[in-house]
Structure 1
Amino acid sequence: MMKQKQWLKCFALAAGVTFSSMSMAAGTLTVSSPQDPGSWDPIDTFLVNWASVATNMYDGLTYRGPDLKLKPALATSWKISDDGKKIRFALRKGVTFHDGEPFNANAVKFTFDRLLGDEGKKGPQRSNYSAIDHVAVVDDYTVDFFLKAADPVLLTKLAGYGAMIVPPKYIQEKGEEYFNTHPVGTGPFEFESYQPKVGITLKAYPNFWGDKAKLSELKYRFISEPSTAVAELQSGRVDMVIPPTIPIAMIPTIKNDSKLKIMSATSPTVYALRFNTKNGITKDERVRKALIYGVDRQAIIDSILGGQAEAIASFQSAISFGNDPKMKSLPYDPTKAQQLLKAAGVKPGAQVQIDIRGNNATFNEVAQAVASYLQIIGLKAIIKPYETNVLLNDIVPAGKTGAMFQQSWGGWTLDYDNTAYFMYHSGEKWNPYDSDPKLDQMLEAQRSVTDQAKRLSMLQEIAHYTADRALEMPLYSENAIFGVAKRVKNFTPVPDSRLRLNDVTVE
């Protein structure tokens, strides 16, 4: 009996099709993701769990892979003007969207007109691209980006999230709501089906412009409960569990299973407990500093996180441009904490509510430890878990949190601007409480500086300033931890969880 590949080759030759042009995609990879983003439109989201799926469906003008190096994608090259205010992109020819619509300069202009216009106002992505004034079509495969001011991070931003190129005709004909649940891009996998809160299925796109998918199908199941996700991995019903699902305590269980392995990468993802600076006792900076002094964060890292995390002094990881390795956080000093609470007039037994994402078992342990430390300095900490989408979409942006609330942030550009602007600038979605004109000016000023040494100094100054104001309790940066079946081959764990799986195979 002929082997399958030989038979296919003979069939192809008989049909007059060259073998090299045929897709040999085979096999299904099933991935457990902890969250359904709720919309697959690039401008509707900031979520890492969106990117872990959608990076397979969409392309940007640029691409950043697991090696963190920026490469051409839908743009084959670019030229930046001397003043940094104009970028000319040469676009890739012969690319089609999954619906057959051609990719060209009009698609790029449509994407950014939409992102910077009324539709983009509804989502969280527009301010990331605020340096762009407008996009002009030069010809079918050349576009000019005209900037209000130079943006030294823009080329990286164009590799993800809101900058993913979308199909004009499809969206105009089908409408925005339909596009949310029936996405179309130019990536190696195309949309097949979506069941909200259950899963999404993609299939190999045979006309992809780059290295075609080796898998025939890619399934994501939305499993929020970590123990369930790990059980499904052990049973073989899923092949991979992606961050931030796997609790540290369950790593040995996976390592001890002969069919499974743990893979991890240094990650830009950071965790903090941010403060309500507008209402209640945490309106007082002395109280915020007391809470930081009152918690032994290093002990929490050592006892709960098992070597898979590092302490942070500002809300960024060690691989973030803007991190100051010499910066120190406030030390554990419960006596100092009690003195500050007394000076601020906070009475023993005062209540502090900590809002967290309920599906992160590891962070739940961290929050319990924080609550215990706060009890030692005389406070009563109440932990209030929320379903993740509720906390992120309804509670935090509306300013309805307690005194402290969990913030986990990927910082996927590896540049502190992408974190700091969203966290601290007045009016931003993730800054529902604080307004600081001086900080606003600092954040805006660094965005137009092209001298990297000067800009690094400015970003480090922002980190020190926010720490001095105690806008959050910095906790740790955590490795990106993947649980993977050994039948999965050619998978590289990525620091930012933006999974591109076209080279992956399954045995």
Structure 2
Amino acid sequence: MKNKRALAKALAAASALSVSAVSQAGSLTVATPQDPGSWDPIDTFLVNWASLATNVFDGLTYRGPDLELVPGLATRWEELDDGTRLRFELREGVTFHNGEPFDAEAVKFTFERLLGEEGAKGPQRSNYTAIESVEVIDDHTVDFHLSEPDPVLLTKLAGYGAMIVPPGYIQEHGDEHFNSNPVGTGPFKIVDYRPREDVRLEAFAEHWGGAPKLDSVTYRFISEPSTAVAELQSGRVDIVIPPTIPIGMIDTINNHDGIRVVSVPSPTVEAIRFNTQSGITADEKVRQAMIMAVDRQAIIDSILAGEGKVIASFQSAQSFGHDPELEPYPHDPERARQLLDEAGVEPGANVQIDVRGNDATFGEVAQVVAAYLQGVGINASIQPYETNVLLNDIIPAGRTGEMFQQKWGGWTFDYDNTAYLMYHTGERWNPYDSDEELDRMLNAQRGITDRAEREAMLQEIARYTQERALEMPLYSLNALYGVSDRVQGFEPAPDNRLRLTDVSVSE
């Protein structure tokens, strides 16, 4: 009788599995504008990486489109020792895509690698330097020992460098192999990667959160916006992710049968940053004048079709640290000319604006900015670069012109993650400036556990950077997705980090 019950149970499970397999049938194709070049979590800061890799890797925590922080590979956590120790209880029964078990040793390995020599080669380590060590308590418990409390750490653990990686696989195959053949614990696994062309994912049925509804997902790297939209119209692409879709093509998509644009407010902000070390932009008055010369609301109305908001500092209204009382610099060409005269800048002075060559919308914005600068006597030329070259070579090496485009995802929704990386001395995105007072404020706010006090300090930092005019804050952007009507269960992520587990397609 016992054997019969076991057989019946097995047959029922097989039947359920068969039904599940039928319901999972379907493939999705996503257009993304950029190949990150490496799938290793510690090698990247790119939103285009996260829009795919959120499906391949898991962190100890997870934050979805609703922006709520929930358990990921950790089922619970608690603060100990006044916030300088975090204890995580880990999910049991989880395996990596290669069958390797997930446990406390995998967590320890991940963070020792991130904070060690390998992590030093990439841009993520500075986000996690509060972590002094990771202690294994038992197979499913770890303690993070911190040099000081980090009020944003739990959110950081939900993305990018903190994604948990398999120790055995990396030790056997090496870091270079892992870059192109990553293994995680996420709901999809990478099965084929053709650099600059596409990457194909298959459902990982053993995922701890349940099998995805899709069988497979293909991400195609399409840098040209018009090509991506044409592929959406033809049905060869199901989703086009931000920031691909030009504002001017919104109506084209919405007026085409079977596809639509889905817009959601996002933390993404755009600015033109200044070389504060050399050239006319080394003068604070000149930088202030350039900001006042540009009518940013007119840019939003005319080029962005209202899909954005003017910002006073380099953060969106969704960011913790945003000060609603902080007013943007006014559009005041007359005052701009006065400041330029006070700074001794002769009419006809030249500046260069470096931009991402594949960003069609910002290309238009840069042209308008140049026209406004011309109106106050400054000649601005625009220098386009391939995105990876600009971000990995030109900016970090301090080889830009007087001005350069900076788009920032603000994915932690906390101004610390923007301000520290943009303004602290020696950081990758701060190749020119060094300010002891600003360094002091940035360091101090990280040790504040009182939420209201820390928010006030972040707002003070925003005011300070505005006074120094370290960049020309332009606008926060809505995230624009192009979506086929055959896509079911799609929820747009404000930060582009799509989790496709519950997405399906209708034929």
TM-score range, shorter chain: over 0.9
Provide Cα deviations, 1:24-57, integer angstroms capped at 9, x if missing partner: 2211100000111000000000000000000000
Equivalent position of 1:436 in the other structure: 435
Any residues of structure 2 matched to 1:257-406 within 5 Å, and which? 257-406=256-405
Provide Cα deviations, 1:55-84, integer angstroms capped at 9, x if missing partner: 000000000011100000100001111500
Q: How far apart, in 2, do the equivalents of 1:20 and 1:453 lie? A: 51
Q: How far apart, in 2, do the equivalents of 1:225 and 1:337 lie? A: 36
Q: How far apart, in 2, do the equivalents of 1:212 and 1:491 lie? A: 16
Q: How far apart, in 2, do the equivalents of 1:14 and 1:75 lie? A: 31
Tell me the SS of whatever aligns to 1:267: strand
Normalised by the size of structure 2, how large is the TM-score? 0.96
Q: How far apart, in 1, do the equivalents of 2:16 and 2:66 lie? A: 28
Equivalent position of 1:19 in the other structure: 15
Answering whether residue 177 of structure 2 is matched by residue 178 of structure 1, we say yes
Q: How far apart, in 1, do the equivalents of 2:383 and 2:412 lie? A: 31
Q: Which amino acid aligns with 1:238?
A: V
Equivalent position of 1:41 in the other structure: 40
Provide Cα deviations, 1:411-436, integer angstroms capped at 9, x if missing partner: 10000001000000011110000011
Provide Cα deviations, 1:197-237, integer angstroms capped at 9, x if missing partner: 11111100111110311111110001111111101100111
Q: Which amino acid aligns with 1:141?
A: H
The 1:492–1:319 alpha-carbon spacing in structure 2 relative to 1, beyond 3 Å, is same
Any residues of structure 2 matched to 1:107-506 within 5 Å, and which? 107-506=106-505
Equivalent position of 2:4 in the other structure: none
Q: Percentage identity across aligned positions?
A: 68
The 1:411–1:14 alpha-carbon spacing in structure 2 relative to 1, beyond 3 Å, is closer
Equivalent position of 1:59 in the other structure: 58
Q: Which amino acid aligns with 1:390?
A: V
Equivalent position of 2:5 in the other structure: none
Q: CA deviation at 1:18?
A: 3.0
Tell me the SS of whatever aligns to 1:268: strand
Q: Which amino acid aligns with 1:427?
A: G
Tell me the SS of whatever aligns to 2:318: coil
Provide Cα deviations, 1:296-325, integer angstroms capped at 9, x if missing partner: 111111111111100000000000000001
Name segments (4+ residues, structure 1) moved above 2 Å: 12-23
Q: How far apart, in 1, do the equivalents of 2:161 and 2:251 lie? A: 37
Q: CA deviation at 1:471?
A: 0.2
Provide Cα deviations, 1:312-361, integer angstroms capped at 9, x if missing partner: 00000000000001101111111111111111111111111000011111
Q: How far apart, in 1, do the equivalents of 2:417 and 2:470 lie? A: 17
Q: How far apart, in 2, do the equivalents of 1:380 and 1:365 lie? A: 17
Tell me the SS of whatever aligns to 1:77: strand
Q: How far apart, in 1, do the equivalents of 2:371 and 2:255 lie? A: 32
Q: CA deviation at 1:174?
A: 0.3
Gapped regions of structure 1 (runs ≥ 5)? 1-11
Q: How far apart, in 2, do the equivalents of 1:269 and 1:469 lie? A: 22
Provide Cα deviations, 1:406-459, integer angstroms capped at 9, x if missing partner: 000001000000100000001111000001111111101101111000000000
Q: How far apart, in 2, do the equivalents of 1:447 and 1:118 lie? A: 24
Answering whether residue 87 of structure 2 is matched by residue 88 of structure 1, we say yes
Provide Cα deviations, 1:278-309, integer angstroms capped at 9, x if missing partner: 11110011110110011111111111111110
Tell me the SS of whatever aligns to 2:353: strand
Q: How far apart, in 2, do the equivalents of 1:346 and 1:400 lie? A: 23
Q: Which amino acid aligns with 2:282?
A: K
Provide Cα deviations, 1:349-404, integer angstroms capped at 9, x if missing partner: 11110000111111111111000001111111101111110100110001010011
Q: How far apart, in 1, do the equivalents of 2:16 and 2:115 lie? A: 41
Tell me the SS of whatever aligns to 2:263: strand
Tell me the SS of whatever aligns to 2:266: coil
Q: Which amino acid aligns with 2:73?
A: L
Number of residue pairs aligned between Structure 1 and Structure 2? 496
Q: Which amino acid aligns with 1:337?
A: A
Tell me the SS of whatever aligns to 1:265: strand
Gapped regions of structure 2 (runs ≥ 5)? 1-7
Q: Which amino acid aligns with 1:389?
A: N
Q: CA deviation at 1:17?
A: 4.5
Equivalent position of 2:104 in the other structure: 105
Tell me the SS of whatever aligns to 1:266: strand
Answer yes or no: is the 8 Å Cα contact 1:13–1:19 preserved in 2.
no
User: Once superposed, what is the RMSD of the aligned Cα atoms?
Assistant: 1.2
Normalised by the size of structure 1, how large is the TM-score? 0.96
Q: CA deviation at 1:263?
A: 0.8
Provide Cα deviations, 1:149-174, integer angstroms capped at 9, x if missing partner: 01111111100000000000000000
Answer yes or no: is the 8 Å Cα contact 1:166–1:185 preserved in 2.
yes
Q: CA deviation at 1:180?
A: 0.3
Q: How far apart, in 2, do the equivalents of 1:448 and 1:199 lie? A: 43
Q: How far apart, in 2, do the equivalents of 1:14 and 1:60 lie? A: 33
